[in-house]
Amino acid sequence: MTTKVDTATLQAEAAKLRPARHKTREVRVGDKIVGGNNPICVQSMTTPDTHEVEATVAQILRLEEAGCELVRVTVPKPEDAHVLSEIKKRIHIPLIVDIHFDYKMALMALDHPIDKVRINPGNIGGYERYRQVIRKARDRGLPMRIGVNAGSLERELVEKHGYPCPAAMVESALRYIEIAESEGYHDLIVSLKSSDVIMASEAYQLYARYADYPTHIGITEAGKAPYAVTKSACGLAPVLLQGIGDTIRISLLGDPVPEIQAAFDILQATQRRVRKPELIACPTCGRLEIDLEGIIAEMEKRLGGRTTPVKVSILGCVVNGPGEAREADLGIAAGKGKGVIFKRGEIIRHVLEHEMVDALLEEIDKWEAEERANGTMRSETSGFAKTGRLKLPVLS
């Protein structure tokens, strides 16, 4: 039996489904501030042996060009630690060092001008070694990421919980946070990674109920693209939509440069960080009556580098097109070589197919100028307008 619900109740319940960003502390990493209301930072990790300075720096510069904002290098050996100062001199984004097993490498790395250290406390040999790293990072005034991983949880926690699970991961993170706080250290970022999408997603959401240190989010060992991107999106979208996450990495097999675009696309799709116009296009079907693929390709080309947070719908049929186009900031509903442009839900002009790209670009310029003049331009972190932005009359 269907329960009858009044409109006000439905609207109130719907509003609860879009939570605000999880409020976290701010932690400085080089020239970036992680957490709080700051943009979610996109990061990656290099693949050459770190002591191969030329190869490492070259890859970091490629990552920078792609938009990477934080970069991590692994330091398993003394020769890797010894070159950190040289690498730091030649790059332009904060440098993070990644430590596994040997806490001495963390201590050695902290003698160099790095910006953050990442350790997995569960595999560096006990609490006292962890405390030594904490103390030196504290004295240097540098932040640390506590990297909890389902694959390397402490044996006692696995035995206590029966198996690696979100509760065990969060208990591990809270334990290491408490130790750090007992040393007077609070410059922490936390990650709770797993190759299991559900486990990782649940771990981040559970953690957010207990702590306010910023989180680095990711699905570890995701594999090879394109499946790895899909897997990461599936695991991280629920986390991001709950307002959780302050830095992000999409882990892909091979060249790390594609990780950057994948991360920004996921942030854009979840409206947690909107850095460019969003183009909405209907799928190709028998109702299509314009060269939609050609129009979209030309729009993407000419909007390259544009950061305007505007949502543009280009619909190539008269069935769903008018309604969808009206719901975007700007939209075209077209058929048989011609169409109408909607702006904020109202028809503003008629155009022929060959005029559509130029006309839309003109309207985007006008829209941006109006938004700036009115002081209503959305910020990078405010996302697109929320569902229900316009109260529109029903189309006949």
* Pairwise CA distance, residues 43 & 89, whole Å: 19
The DSSP annotation for 334-363 comes to EETTEEEEEETTEEEEEEEGGGHHHHHHHH
Q: Per-residue pLDDT for 379 more than 80?
A: no
Compute the distance between CA of residue 251 and CA of residue 247 in angstroms, rounded to an integer: 13
Q: Are 41 and 32 in contact (CB under 8 A)?
A: yes
- The contacts of residue 125 (CB under 8 Å, 6+ apart) are 101, 103
pLDDT tens, position by position, 131-149 = 999 999 999 999 999 999 8
Q: How far apart are CA 57 and CA 238, in angstroms?
A: 34
Task: Give pLDDT, residue 331.
Answer: 86
Percent residues over pLDDT 70 in the chain: 92
pLDDT digits (tens, 9 = 90+) for 265-286: 999 999 999 888 888 887 766 6
Please report, for residues 184, 281, 317, the alpha-carbon distance to residue 297 in angstroms, rounded to integers and kept in the order given. Answer: 54, 11, 18
Domains of the chain in sequence order: 22-269 (3.20.20.20), 278-374 (3.30.413.10)
Q: What is the pLDDT of residues 160-175, one digit of tens each?
A: 999 899 999 999 999 9
Percent of the chain scoring above 90 in pLDDT: 61
- Higher pLDDT pick, 331 / 28: 28
* Average pLDDT score, the chain: 89
User: What's the confidence (pLDDT) of residue 385?
Assistant: 58
Position 388 scores a pLDDT of: 41
pLDDT at 209 > cutoff 90:
yes
Does residue 395 have a pLDDT over 60?
no
Query: How many Cα neighbours within 13 Å face the side chain of 395?
Result: 14
Q: Is the overall model pTM greater than 0.85, yes or no?
A: yes
Q: Which helix (H) or strand (E) holds 82?
A: helix 78-82
